[in-house]
Amino acid sequence: MTDRLKGKVALITGASNGIGAGTSELFAKEGCSIILADKNFDEAKHLCNEISKFNPNCIALKLDVTSENNWIEVIQKSVNIFSGLNILVNNAGIYSRKLIEQTELNEFEEIIKVNLNGTFLGTKHVIPEMRKMGNGSIINMSSTAGIVGNIGSGAYGASKGGIKIFTKYAALQHAHENIRVNSVHPGPINTEMISENLSTPSNTNKIMSKIPLKRIGTVNDVAMGVLFLASDESSYITGSELVIDGGLTSI
Ligand SMILES: NC(=O)c1ccc[n+]([C@@H]2O[C@H](COP(=O)([O-])OP(=O)(O)OC[C@H]3O[C@@H](n4cnc5c(N)ncnc54)[C@H](O)[C@@H]3O)[C@@H](O)[C@H]2O)c1
């Protein structure tokens, strides 16, 4: 355990699995108090039990990021328990591979609701608490799909592009309060979310062949970037886009 986040309190959404789980573990190792927030409470609780073995300052809360009331409750509980909040990682997200003509309106809306509305609601309700602390770092999980187009899910791309530009508005509106807001743009990362895309060696090789660094990213690759943006090491960085994609979008 080191102390890059010592004394800070972080709320991480989508913390039960994949990138959110890896980020939560890394934050806990860096001395942070953490709130693991996920729709899937049982898995969040399980991870919290594991983390508590080396960092007791960990709680799990049930949160559906699409519910404004849920956000208000979770932020209030977090602040009551840890006496404030310094970091929010808006990481929860869903993905679909459907082409535009195959996508029903309600499916499009659901992706926007979780990915984009969820990020908006979290940002809206955490700002007053960060203002009280006199500092804050909000990290919004976008994607390379929010920077460049692809043959795949237009709904997902639209939600992630929305997160990218929303991040800049939030950064500009709250810079004077020492609240920083940045977006992270991973390329393909080996988690449940893209397990279908990586289901056969031939599919995996096809994806890898397009990546200049010739490998699929890991959860830790992304968590290390999020850690940097959460810590005071990035104190002059706001409104920026951290791309973690093995060079994919440089082509
Ligand atoms: N895996 C990738 O290749 C990749 C690439 C770029 C960006 N991302 C983004 O990274 C983030 C994490 O993705 P992952 O790969 O770890 O996915 P994952 O499916 O492994 O984990 C997503 C987590 O979000 C939670 N979640 C889903 N809907 C929720 C809701 N309404 N409220 C609260 N929690 C909810 C799930 O329970 C799960 O724990 C997402 O925003 C995703 O879009 C992933």
Asked if residues 8 and 35 have their Cβ atoms less than 8 Å apart, the reply is: no
Which positions are catalytic?
156
93 lines ligand 1 (CB under 6 A): yes
Among the listed residues 134, 135, 105, 123, the one whose alpha carbon sits nearest the alpha carbon of residue 165 = 123
Eight-state DSSP code of residue 239: S
40 lines ligand 1 (CB under 6 A): yes
Tell me what pLDDT residue 60 has. Answer: 98
Residues paired with 35 in a beta bridge = 11, 59
Tell me what pLDDT residue 102 has. Answer: 96
pLDDT > 90 fraction of the chain, expressed in percent and rounded: 98
Tell me what pLDDT residue 174 has. Answer: 98
Q: Is the pLDDT of residue 61 over 80?
A: yes
94 lines ligand 1 (CB under 6 A): yes
Q: What is the pLDDT of residues 127-182, one digit of tens each?
A: 999 999 999 999 999 999 999 999 989 999 999 999 999 999 999 999 999 999 99
**pLDDT confidence band for 13 (50 / 70 / 90):** very high
116-148 as b/e, with b when 16 or more CB fall inside 10 Å?
A: bbbbbbbbebbbebbeebebbbbbbbbbbbbbe
Query: Position 115: which residue type?
Result: N
For the record, the structure tokens of 150 come out as 């692809």
70-98 average pLDDT score: 98
* CA–centroid distance, residue 120 to ligand 1 (Å): 16
Tell me what pLDDT residue 130 has. Answer: 98
Across the chain, the runs of DSSP E, i.e. the strands, are 9-13, 33-38, 58-62, 87-90, 136-141, 179-186, 241-244
Considering the chain, what is the average pLDDT of its residues? 97
Between residues 196 and 5, the one the model is more confident about: 5
Residue nearest (by alpha carbon) to ligand 1 atom 7: 143
Query: Position 143: which residue type?
Result: S
For the record, the structure tokens of 129 come out as 């608490």
Q: What is the pLDDT of residues 178-192, one digit of tens each?
A: 999 999 999 999 999
**pLDDT confidence band for 246 (50 / 70 / 90):** very high
If one residue of 16, 17, 195 were mutated to test the ligand 1 pocket, choosing by the most ligand atoms within 8 A of its CB, it would be 17
Q: How far apart are CA 219 and CA 228, in angstroms?
A: 15
Query: Residue holding tokens 């980020």?
Result: 23
Tell me what pLDDT residue 2 has. Answer: 82
Specify the CATH superfamily of domain 9-191+218-243.
NAD(P)-binding Rossmann-like Domain (3.40.50.720)
Tell me what pLDDT residue 72 has. Answer: 98
Q: What is the pLDDT of residues 193-207, one digit of tens each?
A: 999 999 999 999 999
The CA-CA-CA angle for residues 193, 199, 202, to 5°, reads: 130
The CA-CA-CA angle for residues 95, 28, 159, to 5°, reads: 20
For the record, the structure tokens of 234 come out as 């990035």
Calculate the CA dihedral of residues 20, 154, 217, 40 and round it to 10 degrees. Answer: 20
Tell me what pLDDT residue 152 has. Answer: 85
Q: How is the chain split into domains, by residue range? A: 9-191+218-243
Q: Is the pLDDT of residue 1 over 80?
A: no
